[in-house]
Copies of this chain bind each other. A is one copy, B any other.
Amino acid sequence: MDTYSIDQDSLWMARALELAHKGLGTTSPNPPVGAVIVKNGVLLGEGWHEVAGEAHAERRAIANAYLRGHAEDLVGSTIYITLEPCSSHGKTPPCTDAIIAAGISRVVYGAVDPDERHRGRADAVLQEHGIAVRSECCAATCELLVRPWAYSVLHKRPWVTAKIACTLDGRLTRAGLRWLSCEESVRFAHQMRLESDAILVGGNTLRADNPALTIRKPYREVPFVKKQPWRVVMTRDASTLPDTAKVFTDEHASRTLIRENVGDLKAMLHALYEQQGVVNLMLECGGNLLRAFLEAGLVNEWVQILTPRITGGPDALLPGYFMPCERFFEQEELIPSGQDIIIRGLIH
């Protein structure tokens, strides 16, 4: 039975993607990237980008091949990279240089550089040195992985994900101080924190819930290099915030930022990108602040954890009258999560 032609490139790219995922949440303002070096069906080395300022995935894969004693074998090998390799000097020298120096003969990459000025430039640089290039292998999957980063490169502000946990009737709280989501959904939300660079709440949430906004029980193990996400507290008047709040007093207090009396949400987001390198921003705020972000057209992704309860109550997921402009939800995905249902999609 040899009726299926298996695309070897896609298989190795799948491994590179698996590695890239290990960097989710720790690479900002850089993208998560994975790389695998292969020759004659044998894996020579692999690596992923872990933290901005440190080696890119390509260099780590080459170093890994050296460690495994494959230095001599790199000539004639293929490197699979989830993203077009950089061809210009950043905090580290261009990866195309490293690929050329290692003697690698073929480059297969997934997503192209989102910046049109750079897009495909690696191809020319590599081909000049006689290296064969295949671009856009498993492109859709590779692009999805770097979607927030690509957005931040183009817009100079973070990709914003609203996380909402609500009842079937759209309430954010239950009577008393009881949990809304089930255990599985709490873990899901903590996984989202793990993949975020910053978490934003309003002063009301701080006063009402005193959340720690730490990563306690995500699905994945928390990488050693993961820093506490920035905790951004938006408030009209900082003097009204309780000094004793966890975010001001715990061991991560230096990772808490106050943004007082913000007039221009977009400018605030730009600053978080430029100054703190925030690529993934997660909203864990209440309805009023969520509404402000929605009205400003600054929410990219929507993750709604629906808990199977009907409660009524004062805290609507989105209070107030008709929005000046409706938001539409696309590419929705349904994720069963214990007794809850998670609805995820993009906001337009």
| A336 → B minimal CB distance (Å) | 8
A340 nearest CB neighbor, chain B only:
B332
- A288-326, CB under 8 A of B: which get 1 and which 0? 000100100000001010101111111011111111001
Chain B residues whose CB sits within 8 angstroms of the CB of A291 once the complex forms: 312
Min C-beta distance of A329 to chain B, whole Å: 4
Contact A312 B308 (CB under 8 A): no
Given contacts A322-B175, A326-B175, A332-B341, contact A168 B312 (CB under 8 A): no
Chain B nearest CB: distance from A175 CB in Å? 4
Our pick among B320, B321, B323, B343 for the contact of A168 (Cβ within 8 Å) is B343
Verify if A330 is at the interface (C-beta below 8 Å from B).
Answer: yes
Q: Which of B304, B309, B321, B329 contacts A327 (CB 8 A)?
A: B309
Residues of B with C-beta under 8 A to A304: 168
Measured CA separation A291–B316 after assembly (Å): 16
By the criterion CB–CB under 8 Å, are A174 and B326 in contact? yes
**A262 at the binding interface (Cβ < 8 Å):** no
Question: Do B313 and A322 touch across chains, with their CB atoms under 8 A apart?
Answer: yes
Instruction: Give the residues from 33 to 90 in chain A that come closer than 8 angstroms, CB to CB, to chain B.
Output: none
Task: Report how far A248 CA is from B166 CA in the complex, Å.
Answer: 39
How many Å from the CB of A235 to the closest CB on chain B? 23
Partner of A308, one of B306, B310, B329: B329
> A170-B170, A341-B334 given as contacts; is B312 within 8 A of A320 (CB)?
yes
**Interchain CA distance A215-B327 in the complex, whole Å:** 31
Are B326 and A322 in touch, CB under 8 angstroms? no
**A317 CA / B317 CA spacing, docked (Å):** 12
A residues near B (Cβ < 8 Å) are: 166, 168-171, 174-175, 291, 294, 302, 304, 306, 308-314, 316-323, 326-330, 332, 334, 336, 341, 343, 345, 347
In the complex, 27 of the A-B residue pairs with CB atoms within 8 angstroms, ordered by the A residue number, are: A166-B170, A168-B302, A169-B170, A169-B316, A169-B317, A169-B318, A170-B170, A170-B171, A170-B316, A170-B317, A291-B312, A294-B310, A302-B310, A306-B343, A308-B345, A309-B328, A310-B347, A311-B322, A311-B326, A312-B319, A312-B321, A313-B322, A313-B323, A314-B321, A332-B341, A334-B334, A334-B341
4 closest residue pairs by CB, A with B: A170-B170, A308-B329, A169-B318, A312-B323
